[in-house]
Structure 1
Amino acid sequence: MTTTFDVSRRGFVVGAATAGLALGFRLPFDDGAAHAQAGYPDEINAWVVVQPDEKVIIRIARSEMGQGTLTGLAQLVAEELECDWADVTTEYPTPATNLQRGRVWQSFSTGGSRGIRESHDYVRQGGAAAREMLIAAAAKDWGVAPGDCRAEKGVITHAGSGRSTTYGKVAKAAALLEVPANVPLKDPKDWKLAGKPVKRLDTAAKVVGRQVYGADLRLPGMLNAAIRQCPVFGGKLASFDAAAVQSMPGVRKVVTVDDNAVAVIAERWWQAKTALDELPVKWDEGANAQVSSASIAAFVEEGLTADQAFVGNQNGDAEAVIAKAVRKVEAVYAYPYQNHATMEPMNATAKWTEDRCEVWCPTQNGEAALAAAAAAAGLQPQQCDVHKLHLGGGFGRRGAFHDYVRQAVLIARHFPGTPVKLLWTREEDMTHGAYHPITQCKLTAALDENGDVTAFRVRIAGQSILAGVMPQRLNGGADPVTFQCYAPKGDHAISYSFPNLLVDHAMRNPHVPPGFWRGVNANQNTVYTECFIDEVAHAAGKDPLAFRLKLMANHPKNAAVLKAAAERAGWGGPAPAGVFRGLAQCTAFGSHIAACAEVSVTGGKLKIHRIVAATDCGHAVNPQQIEAQVEGSFVYGLSAMLYGECTVKDGRVEQQNFDTYQVMRIDEMPEVETIVMPSGGFWGGVGEPTIAVAAPAVLNAIFAATGKRIRRLPLMHHDLGTA
């Protein structure tokens, strides 16, 4: 099979940084014995290494950032490989090796809940091919047919003679065999390892403090750098006085980075940071220094009534039906800027020479990091490599954006041959992110005399992520990502059927850069729809569950998870004294999810007691990890609902640390009950979808408790005293 890959630096950089490297690739293993002769003699194929002591190394291209992808993908490979799980460990291949080998591991991108659902097929093929090669090697040694042999837990047995051997004993011989193509994969109903709640592979190292994150990395002779960027987005560096700090302890050099930042390089990071704090700096803040949250809100609000908008979903004539409706319900909702707020600030370590550049960093996309490194290094991608480390949080910040990698390489070029670690301060991290986009939404529903919806109208006004990050992916100027949970079909399809529907987007892009924030636009769109549907149900005098189910007659999977969550929570039955319930559901990232929240409000103080969540992700590779992801996503989603807001004053983000950008505390976290109900036949995401239903379920429960509708987040700005 011929590999087609543009290995020119420009071609690689453009492909990696923008399109996720959706280029030609080979099968998920190399051409038979060729890999053994090309410097990879210890592997069976690209996915599997079996050592003489029976240890099995499974190579995983996707990134581990707490979501369990490393374990889940290893389970899928090990399931087909038929090895002993107790012998399994993992390692990251490097993106340069992937490039060298014709992208044998395919995509390194980890985001959009795609880690398993996008790569499950070819990683399983890698495990199945390795199993067949190991069996074939044993059969060849015994002089029997491979079909008469079977493998289980790393042991190969010949049925006729009873002879057996282990993977470790035949691994070298297996590596020299031709790789079989199109090996049949197991039916999920026959899984023995996948689908089971096995222990995660990355837990022990984290518990004992052995796990090395990017911020922890130490290399011989390493220098350290701290950076300060113009506080106003779009502003530039005007001047600085390096002489004022050059003689401070440990300081080696003060340098400009691009045209908007200055960095201090020192022997120790605290020395660099201290000197940077003392450095006299002047900024050219530009026209954006006049922008505020109020001016941004007014700019976005104008889009709610604008004549021009991009249509994302339409059937019938919603506007005409609304104009003649017996009754209509209307509301405007708003969602603020939010920070990714990863616990580990942005960082990267780079070592540069005139003909080689290496980077060590946490990244959600090793190939995009390699592209950024090559561009900053002024080298070909083949002359660079990225060594990926576990992430201390990603949430989208370390996926499409590798500004910290670029900066680290540019700084390291001042000290050729010396590794330099760049570590952002928390304040730098908070004020130079790529934020959850700001939007507002006007929703209108027409009702007939029976209280049934005859038309549904949604106008979104606000920021486009793709316009700011990947403009080449706009479709005729429209951003399809804006319509998550409103799409006519696909992974983010609307989960209600209306006889007349219109959903459109009036794009308004302020100067604050947007980004893919965990859950992306499913978060606010589900708040908008699910809270408004609740409003309409109450306006019609109908039970919110029954009202939803009637609109979901053509969406049986959504109806199933909604009923499961409601029934487990006791919907329709008596709640504990003072406790009230709320519902929400959606389709996001290919999965169907629903939640029922139980809350109380006493003296204006909210207590979230319990949330029951039901998830149909098609196939459940590790139910325990799914439960953990649901719980973690609720921490993230509820933190956003309660406190998540970045405000703008004088063109800059005001929140600089966790004292002003709060997250949930342990005592605020509700009990979470997770119902995992995979229906099979598809592969949905897990890490992000359930974020979307957490906030609207709670907001609807708050209405049930207080009679108050919260239409503008975060909740911390609202008085929850009863209406």
Structure 2
Amino acid sequence: MKRRTWILSALGATGALVVGWGLMPQRSRLGDGALMLPTEGEVGLNGWIKIAKDGTVVLAMPRSEMGQGVHTALAMLVAEELDISLAKVRLQQAGPETLYGNVVMLTATLPFHPLESEGDNKPAKVKLGEWFVGKIARELGINATGGSSSVADAWEPLRTAAALARAGLLEAAATQWKVPRNELKIQDGVVQHATGKSAHFGELAQGAAGLKPANVTLKDRKDWKLLGTPAPRVDIPAKTNGTARFGLDVRLPDMLFAAIRLAPQLGGTVGSLDSKAALAMPGIETLVPLEALGGSTAGFAVVGKTTWHARQAVQAVEVQWQAPTNGALDTEKIEERLKAALQAEDGFAFYNKGDTKAAEAAAASSVEALYQAPYLAHATMEPMNCTAQVKDGAVEVWAPTQVPEMARAIAAKVAGVKEDKVTLHVTLLGGGFGRRLEVDYVAQAVRVAMACKGRPVQLAWSREEDTTHDFYRPMHVAQLRASIDAAGQVSSLRIKSAGDAISPRWMARGLPALSGPIDMPDKTTAEGLFDLPYGFANQHMAHVATRMEVPVGFWRSVGHSHNAFFSESFIDELAAQTKQDPVAFRLALLKDAPRYAAVLQLAANKARWGSPLPAGRARGVALHESFGSIVAEVAEVSLKDGVPRVHKVVCAIDCGTVVNPNIVAQQMESAVVFGLTAALYSKIDIKDGAVQQTSFPSYPMVQLAAAPVVETWLVPSTRHPGGVGEPGVPPIAPAVANALFALTGKRQRSLPLVTVA
């Protein structure tokens, strides 16, 4: 299958109907002021902005805050264009309209090489693909927080909406005061004129409503006062004084609480159960059977007057579990099947360059290696939870979710009502990492609420259920092979990987109307392999998509999380094979990729690459692009009793225009610790169908005492913003592995990295 055929079929670009639709202009993302939820005295100026009586600006917030700082970053975009302080921007949850869909997250799924698709001079196929997928994304309006896309997606529409509101307010003042608009200025939300006349936004909003000012322009970069500054995060005060409301903080009158117990074998069901003793316990209301909802495993919930009561009773239920009909899963057998698929199938070729076969035939020698990575859990600090109430033919849901419209849709489906009968409140998220792109826990909460006679109920998973019934990062394997010519230069690079594809499984669970009987090639399987920046003359990158029946989902940085370990570790192998310094080897291959070279050089300089280190320490380096941002990391590592200790990590990042440098640094630090946990400790083992790791003792995290010092250096840029929530994760595992090789001379090709004897 050629890539062109894939894109056209994925877009449905066949037939006169689709062609005619495709010629229509793209849907505007500004919207009408009527979309903003009406509140007394507030005036909507467009679909994103309304003005309160006191002059406060209210921003429709469609993205979920899970610690990544998005509520601050998007508020900064609005505050800058309107010339107000960040404190004068108030957030209101956006409604269910398609206007708030995440367009960039979908256009980023196109499998184009970044060196082909970035900048202004894009090939026609890239422009066409982005236009069509962008148009589809606008029509679908899938509201999701993921793919490190929130700022990139809001960059133009949100600033434009704020600029439009600014122009309307100025025009209203000019009309009222009968003065030229260009004589007016705004200072911290107050429109002023040289005559001394002034009015705050609230006094002008009614006059600005409905106006369609001409010649609306965005602020020039040189005039920015807020963007690019380390503004304090707007969510921190509430999180420090205890007023912030996460999912588990929801409390409602006459509320009940539920605990869940799912079949220990993934895909298993309830055979029979005896609940008499459990239901007789104090404070217990009822037991609710749960079929497999939203891709979950079946089980049951027990409802009580407190979470403690419910958890005691749910464990007291005597149950006989039924094994899944397709047999018990086992990670050792899955690993064997993946390796067999790697040898037996050619896979889908995501990228071809030059003539790899000819280069291999003419090679003087070759280097070949097999790499692998395990299943991983998300292990968010706040376990899965959701509060729901089903009453009088309507449903109300309080959920920490990354996908509010999918949550609303599944709540309606489970309750048997139309979606407009579902009211959804998005709380703060105690970690997401992709786990809350799923809606199984929302479906379960609604099912339980249906049995509670109109009373609200909060369903809260235990840590053990959360770990053993996740949607895991897939296990993947990869075969990498390079040819070396007679001059000692790498003449070709061939990579073939194998593992489950996430996107089609996620679509089938949450967006079944868009899911077909045949899986299209999924970019997430090969990202970080097919899109390398290195200038090898001959390349062939392919992936064998498998289906191992383990529930898989998006995990922070998705395919990049393991593919960067494969590719950047192997690049280091090639440097060693050709007897070159790892940084110098990479730089020589980046002559046609100056952005990448600049990031690598900055990280190397700030880490003092090549300078002496204390005895027993070594440095390792890795460079990787993901989600529109380029990150290089240098890890300084030692061994004590064979156990790796990472002392310091120097990060350099080109993420385009920086909205808030403090948030970028925070996300790099978070990503390093998150990725280091996976690199050193994390794996999910399945035996006889059941996940063996149950909580933090068996699925440990990097603790504070072992956390490295992290330095973050930003490359100045005027490009549109890239992502920052995920790009810091992929380079850390290969950087540490490469440092361990420098220390020991032993190459580790499997995650997690083992202790060294």
Tell me, yes or no, whether TM beats 0.5: yes
Contact 2:504 2:519 in 1 (8 A): no
Relative to 1, partners in 2 of residues 1:347 and 1:439: Cα closer, same or farther, differing over 3 Å?
same
Unaligned runs of at least 5 residues, structure 2: 1-24, 102-136, 293-297, 509-513
Instruction: Give matches, 1:186-585, under 5 Å.
Output: 186-258=219-291, 260-287=298-325, 290-399=328-437, 401-470=438-507, 477-487=520-530, 493-585=531-623
Go from structure 1 to structure 2 and tell me whether the alpha carbon gap of 1:438 and 1:122 turns closer, same or farther (over 3 Å shift).
Answer: same
Tell me the CA shift for residue 93 of structure 1: 2.4
The answer to whether structure 1 residue 170 and structure 2 residue 172 are counterparts is: no
Question: 1:18 aligns to what?
Answer: none
**Which residue number corresponds to residue 109 of structure 2?**
none
**Which stretch of the first structure deviates more once superposed, 637-646 or 673-682?**
673-682
Q: What is the alpha-carbon distance in structure 2 between the residues aligned to residue 384 and residue 36 of structure 1?
A: 16
Asked if residue 70 in structure 1 is aligned to residue 71 in structure 2, the reply is yes
The 8 Å contact of residues 493 and 538 in structure 2, kept in 1 or not, is answered as yes
Deviates more, 1:675-684 or 1:437-446: 675-684
For the residue of structure 1 that corresponds to 2:152, the secondary structure is coil
How far apart are the structure 2 equivalents of 1:257 and 1:144?
67
Q: Following TM superposition, by how much is the alpha carbon of 1:94 offset from its aligned partner in structure 2, in angstroms?
A: 3.7
Deviations 1:190-244 (A, max 9, x none): 3211111100000011112221111121000111111111122222222222323
1:138 deviates by 2.0
The Cα shift of 1:654 comes to 0.8
- Partner residue of 1:123? 158
Moved more, 407-416 or 692-701: 407-416
**How much does 1:120 deviate?**
1.4
Structure 2: distance between partners of 1:57 and 1:363: 22
**Alpha-carbon distance in structure 2 between the residues aligned to 1:698 and 1:426:** 29
Question: Using the alignment, how far apart are the partners of 2:637 and 2:218 within structure 1?
Answer: 46
Distance 1:541 1:664, change over 3 A: same
What is the number of equivalent residue pairs in this alignment? 687
Q: Secondary structure at the match of 1:505?
A: strand
What SS does the corresponding residue of 1:576 show, helix, strand or coil? coil
Distance 1:40 1:293, change over 3 A: farther
Contact 1:289/1:652 (CA < 8 Å) preserved in 2? no
- 1:604-661 CA-to-partner distances (Å, cap 9, x unmatched) read 2322111111111111000110000000000100000011101001111111111100
Cα deviations across residues 351-407 of structure 1 (Å, max 9, x unaligned)?
A: 1125211100101111111111111121111111210001000000001x1000111
Q: Is contact 1:125-1:182 (8 Å) kept? A: no
Q: What CA distance in whole angstroms lies between the structure 1 residues aligned with 2:331 and 2:482?
A: 30
Query: What residue is the counterpart of 2:636 in the other structure?
Result: 598
Structure 1 moving runs of 4+ over 6 Å = 33-40, 96-100, 102-105, 473-476
Q: Secondary structure at the match of 2:345?
A: coil
Aligned residues of 1:94 and 1:386 also touching (Cα < 8 A): no
Q: Is 2:155–2:720's contact at 8 Å kept on the other side of the alignment? A: no
Amino acid at match of 2:374: P
Contact 1:56 1:88 in 2 (8 A): yes
Counterpart CA distance in 2 for 1:595 and 1:427 is: 34
Q: Deviations over 1:456-502 (max 9, x none)?
A: 01110122112422266798642222111234xxxxx3211211111
Contact 1:584 1:696 in 2 (8 A): yes
Residues 376 and 684 of structure 2 are in contact (CA less than 8 Å); yes or no, is this contact kept in structure 1? yes
1:150 Cα deviation (Å)?
Answer: 1.6
- 1:10: which partner in 2? none
- Aligned match for 1:114, one of 149, 152, 177: 149
Comparing 561-570 with 221-230, which one deviates more in the overlay?
A: 221-230
Q: In structure 1, what residue type is equivalent to 2:324?
A: G
SS of residue matched to 1:118 = helix
Classify 1:182/1:278 alpha carbon distance in 2 versus 1 (closer, same or farther; 3 Å): farther
Looking at structure 2, the residues matched to 476 and 97 of structure 1 have their Cα atoms a distance apart, in angstroms, of 26
Shift of 1:554: 1.3
Once the two structures are superposed, the pairs formed by residues 673-692 of structure 1 within 5 Å of their partners are 673-692=711-730
Q: Distance in 2 between matches of 1:152 and 1:562?
A: 41
For the structure 1 residues 182 and 277, does the alpha-carbon distance in structure 2 shift closer, same or farther, using more than 3 Å as the test? Answer: farther
Q: Which residue of 1 aligns with 2:183?
A: 148
Q: What pairs with 1:43-82 in structure 2 (closer than 5 Å)?
A: 43-82=44-83
**Who is 1:90 aligned against?**
91
Are residues 35 and 108 of structure 1, via their aligned partners in 2, closer, same or farther at CA, if it must alter by over 3 Å? closer
Q: Which moved more, 1:190-199 or 1:513-522?
A: 190-199
Report the residue type matching 2:204 in the other structure.
V
When normalised by structure 2's length, the TM-score is: 0.87
User: What residue in structure 2 maps to residue 184 of structure 1?
Assistant: 217
Q: CA deviation at 1:171?
A: 3.0
User: For the Cα contact (< 8 Å) 2:483–2:492, is it kept in 1?
Assistant: yes
User: For the aligned residues, what is the CA RMSD?
Assistant: 2.4
Does the residue aligned with 1:343 lie in a helix, a strand or coil?
coil
CA distance in 2, matches of 1:36, 1:182: 28
In structure 2, C-alpha distance between the alignment counterparts of 1:287 and 1:106, rounded to whole Å: 37
Following TM superposition, by how much is the alpha carbon of 1:75 offset from its aligned partner in structure 2, in angstroms? 0.2
Which has the larger displacement, 464-473 or 429-438?
464-473
> Structure 1 residues 97, 525: closer, same or farther in 2, change over 3 A?
closer
The farther-off stretch of 40-49 and 701-710 is: 40-49
1:265 match: secondary structure: strand
How many angstroms apart in 2 are the aligned matches of 1:660 and 1:288?
A: 28
The amino acid across from 1:406 in the alignment is A
